[in-house]
A and B are shown apart, each in its own frame.
Chain A
Amino acid sequence: MDARLRRVNKEIADCKNDKTSKITLELVDESPFHLKGAFPGPEGTPYEGGHFEVDIRIPDSYPFQPLKMKFITKVYHPNISSASGAICLDILKDAWSPVLTLKSTLISLQSLLCSPEPNDPQDAEVAKHYMTSRSSFEETARYWTHIYAGGPEAKAAGKARDTPVGAVRDEIAIAGLEKAHVDQFEALGFERTKVIDVLRRLNYRGANVAKITEDRVVEELLKS
């Protein structure tokens, strides 16, 4: 049996026998080198209560080359692409060591959720949001955990209460924006999706709102 397969089999068995870490692994197809890992969102973070799935590919020269991992579950986090699930983490790149395993790497991803590194972002827009307004960022991350990772419903945000629950409200919350801001520019005659897109790109949140003039937003809206 080849060395890679021998090692992977041992790692899968090790993970199965470990009841404390709550890390799970399963095969995706016939190949033992394409797996799906999963772990619960860490407590005390906006990811708490969510179930996060990760696509894992084991390269030919494993364990001498890093595992290839990306999130299947959508995650709102500075070091994870909100679009593709790609992960920015040193051990998945040049800091890889053959000491690391499927389990310990998934545990590192779990720790990454606890401690974002906004200075080395994978998703620049999310990182800006994180830097500008932590509370707004966390609210959005929690909302994503709720809708994509099966996490608990976010504590009702009072301001959104009187609007009917539906796709419209979702879109604004997913983008991490304030409904009042979106309404304001929508009222000028721009399409809602366009407004959301522009405000998200401009990071129209927290203290930034005062720094970005209405003209600047309109200018961007006209360009888009």
Chain B
Amino acid sequence: MQPTMDRREREGLPQAPRLVSGDLPPEEPIPSYTGPSFVTDDPELSRLTPAELYELNQGMLNDAVPDRPLIDQLKHIAVLRSEYEHGTPAFLQQIDYLRSQGYNGIRRTRGDGDCFYRSLAFAFVERLMNSEEEELEFSVMSAISTLESVLPMLEAAGFQKLVYEDFYETFVSIIKQIVEPDRLDHSNLTPALLLEAFQSPEVSNSVVVFLRLLTSAQIRTDPDSYADFLFNPELGEPMAPREFCESFVEAVGKEADHVQMTALSRALNVNFSVAYLDGRSKDGTVDFVQFDSGNDYGSEPMVLLYRPGHYDILERRSQEPLE
């Protein structure tokens, strides 16, 4: 396995969009800020100034407001850009770079720790749905057969059927609906129905959990490939595969890092890339980190957008297609 961009190797820390100093509340007792802290526990961020931390926290809080849908409509990337207008120019340059590469849209997910899995699942189904007409049936059937073929791996990893079967059924029925009308909707899957499904907590979370179980099973059944890369993300200590999977893969709301992403790419047999929008680029470009299973026949690669601590989906289109 090639840890191209392991967290521990990434030097230093991501830079928060900076406020113009005059914008800061002057007498705000920032160091004693005791609200929910999403980032201050991270030792990597301990070098930020209180003002930067405060600002970063606010950003994270906004991301975590329960009102944000689990996954949102496609928005023009200019919307993202406008949020960084008072931030560091580095972010703006990188957003402009993404646009110049043809990425015009962003689809956001709620910052609940499930964002990587939710983004990838959505992008996976959406890509299937957008397959060329003549390949549609084949793409859907191969996706379903891939999912069927991983069930023995889930068993081998020690998961009970009663635990995974409902999540599996939910995911497969969404994919099936691409080619055959659903019992409830009496319609094939449309972009609107897909969005609706992924905004419904029961459906959306079932799919997220299924991908978590796949990721975990991939690591548990092939521990030798992963053992050297399993670290407690909070303490930095090495962890045994089972312990790592229980605490940082299967548990609800635990973010994915490079290891989980690699494992899921292999388990699902898909390629995707992640654009790192971190404000750290010297020349204003964005690094794309590839996760290649090597057997992905899908044409258009899936691209996720990473900002420190969060994943969204990056798209070439800038708005939802018309039905």
**Contact (A7, B252) CB under 8 Å given A64-B205, A98-B209:** no
Residues of A within 8 A of B82 (CB): none
Residues of chain A contacted by B20 (CB below 8 angstroms): none
Beta-carbon contacts of A10-49 to B below 8 Å, as 1s and 0s? Answer: 1100100000000000000000000000000000000000
Stretch touching chain A among B91-99, B160-168, B271-279: B160-168
Q: A167 an interface residue at 8 Å Cβ cutoff?
A: no
Chain B residues within 8 Å of A210, by CB: none
- Interface 9-residue window, one of A89-97, A128-136, A153-161: A89-97
Contacts of A94 in B (CB 8 A): 251, 253
Question: Bound complex: CA of A97 vs CA of B245, how far in Å?
Answer: 10
Among candidates A3, A14, A61, A96, residue contacting B162 with C-beta atoms closer than 8 Å: A14
- Complex CA gap A17/B160 in Å reads 14
**Is A64 in contact with B201, judged by CB distance below 8 angstroms?**
yes
CB of B160 within 8 A of CB of A64, answer no
**Chain A neighbourhood of B202, CB < 8 A:** 3, 61
A97 touching B160 in the complex, CB below 8 Å, given contacts A3-B206, A6-B166, A64-B209? no
Give chain A residues whose Cβ lies under 8 Å from the Cβ of B160.
14, 101
When distances are taken between beta carbons in the complex, the residues of chain B under 8 Å from A188 are none
A187 lies within 8 A of chain B by Cβ: no
Of the candidates B201, B212, B250, the one whose C-beta lies within 8 Å of that of A61 is B201
Give the shortest distance, in Å, between B11 (CB) and chain A (any CB).
Answer: 30
Residue A99 is within 8 A (CB to CB) of chain B in the complex: yes
B300 contacts partner chain A, Cβ-Cβ < 8 Å: no
CB pair A97–B251 under 8 Å, yes or no, is yes
User: From B204, which residue of chain A is reached at the shortest CB distance?
Assistant: A64
User: Within the complex, what minimum Cβ distance (angstroms) separates A127 from chain B?
Assistant: 23
Contact of A10 among B162, B167, B247 (CB under 8 A): B162
B213 located at the interface, meaning its Cβ lies under 8 Å from any Cβ of chain A in the complex: yes
Q: Which of A3, A14, A61, A97 contacts B166 (CB 8 A)?
A: A3
Return 5 A-B CB contacts under 8 Å, by A number.
A3-B170, A3-B202, A64-B201, A98-B209, A99-B213
- Name 16 extra pairs, CB < 8 A, besides A3-B170, A97-B251, A101-B162: A7-B162, A14-B162, A63-B209, A64-B209, A64-B252, A94-B251, A95-B246, A95-B247, A98-B163, A98-B167, A98-B209, A98-B250, A99-B163, A99-B246, A99-B250, A101-B163
Closest 4 pairs between A and B when the two form their complex, measured CB to CB: A97-B250, A10-B162, A97-B251, A64-B205
